[in-house]
Structure 1
């Protein structure tokens, strides 16, 4: 069974969806998800119920390769029959990186951008004067890290997913990585020259396992 959700708003939970489709689901395309970020618990729910899932297209929010992001890749590896994965690596922000207001829980929207240099808006993007709708150093620094996708990182993500495969499971055969929403900072503008740099960094990559029986350990990585 194949399921595609495009622009779907989560009126039901992923756990409920997994229970409903159960082991019948073999291909799942989760596109343009506008709600909360996909979590480790969401993937675990799919793994527990959708044991026949072989092909999965999903959105993962990049967070500079931290533990949260790494755990998502590891959890994908725990799905026993999953062999083809197409992650759209989301790098946009849902808020202004220069916004110092607090959210409903009393947390700063941009708590990670916490030093003086990070809060500075570069003079070359200010125009006639300070403008809070421009991206600050910290936001652009974070975007540079999240957009940096090269052959080494593509192989590392493939290896991370594969390392979590259960002993009795199907191996990961294909991983197609691409960066999405480049240069988006909520309502904040992105300088054109900076956007050019970002697009140069975020090239798509495809990792494919060699189909020859005596070369299964070989992974081909192509742009």
Structure 2
């Protein structure tokens, strides 16, 4: 049903004039349709339907509307897929999902959702624990949004000093604070600035290895209430590590290559599904990254190396190989 694109006028008409009393599953694509034109239409339509067993919304869905309709379908949902197009407000954060602390999804078995990666902090961990509170949830596809639009400032919000434009990563830093404040790229049309600290955070968010994938699995599993079904399958797909706003900044090929290398997708699942075994298999999945695959440089350029080594230092006794020296960072306890 409307897998490619919805007709908003038809949707509004059906909300007011139709009954779908026998409908159990809705698969609706919102591609190419601006939610801002009439954001209430989707919510009104979902409320006009009977409580569904399956709901798949792809495209231009707005996480801020989640709280406005989830209660209506929560008691009956067995499958929920919320896969918005990538944009500055397409990912779910803890604020968007707090409604789940008050709304039970007792029958939900399969979940696919795009959440904001926040360096594994307490907010991100709270989201994983919230998923664990769903007693029958056994399969999850997590898209981890690593993008960062905080460097995109309007002219009214611009607070950089006149000397900002003269910063150079090539000169020795006076302090670690000054180093992280140095500008990497500027788009004068948007008054947008990407500083070293944005690169640092993107590296931390994008670095997803097998250890982190397992940690996320166990965080969700450990949130399970007594007598609930165990988590059987977790698919993790990070994306957006080099997205600092539109139009895209022109970075050196080094950063595209680094993000491509560390932004890894994983499938974590129980070795013997359905038997309650604690043994897991962890397999790397092919990347879903769009565009041309970058060739990995043997050595990073001096400016990129400076930032990379602030995040991951050369191991003691080693010569230093950026392709091997990276690792994920632990989740907040």
Q: TM-score range by the shorter chain?
A: 0.7 to 0.9
> What does residue 167 of structure 1 align with?
226
Structure 2 residue matching 1:76: 3-state secondary structure: helix
2:178 corresponds to 1:119: no
1:206 paired residue number: 267
CA distance in 2, matches of 1:42, 1:12: 6
Partner of 2:151: 96
Aligned match of 1:183: 242
- CA 1:212–1:170 in structure 2 vs 1: closer, same or farther (change >3 Å)? closer
1:59 aligned partner: 114
Question: Could you give the per-residue CA deviations for residues 82-114 of structure 1, whole angstroms, max 9, x where no partner exists?
Answer: 1101110001122326889749xx9xxxxxxx9
State the shift of 1:11 in Å: 9.2
Q: Where does 1:15-164 land on structure 2 (aligned, <5 Å)?
A: 15-32=67-84, 35=89, 37-40=91-94, 42-43=96-97, 45-46=99-100, 48-96=103-151, 102=157, 115-121=177-183, 135-164=194-223
Q: Taking structure 1 as reference, are residues 213 and 37 closer, same or farther at Cα in structure 2, changes over 3 Å only?
A: closer
What residue number does 2:282 align with?
221
Q: Structure 1: which 5+ runs fail to align?
A: 107-113, 127-131
Tell me the C-alpha RMSD between the 2 structures. 3.0
The structure number with the bigger radius of gyration is 2
Distance 1:79 1:171 in 2: 10
Label 1:75 to 1:14 Cα distance change in 2 as closer, same or farther (>3 A): same
**Corresponding residue SS for 1:166:** coil
Q: 1: distance between equivalents of 2:215 and 2:54?
A: 29
Q: Residue 94 of structure 2 contacts residue 124 of structure 2 at CA under 8 Å; is this kept in 1?
A: no
Distance 1:118 1:12, change over 3 A: closer
Aligned partners of 2:120 and 2:61: how far apart in 1? 27
Deviation sequence 1:109-130 (CA, Å, 0-9, x none): xxxxx931111135xx79xxxx
Map Cα deviations across residues 34-84 of structure 1 (whole Å, 9 max, x no partner). 546524465453473321111000011111111111111111111111110
Q: Distance in 1 between matches of 2:91 and 2:261?
A: 26
2:305 corresponds to: none
CA 1:41/1:93 → structure 2, altered by over 3 Å: closer, same or farther?
closer
Q: 1:196 aligns with which of 257, 264, 276?
A: 257
Residue 98 and residue 41 in structure 1: after superposition, are their counterparts in 2 closer, same or farther (change >3 A)?
closer
Equivalent pairs, count: 207
User: Which structure has the higher relative contact order (CA within 8 Å, separation 6+)?
Assistant: 1
Residue 60 of structure 1 aligns to a residue whose secondary structure is strand
Looking at structure 2, the residues matched to 12 and 91 of structure 1 have their Cα atoms a distance apart, in angstroms, of 19
Contact 2:63–2:92 (CA under 8 A) maintained in structure 1: no
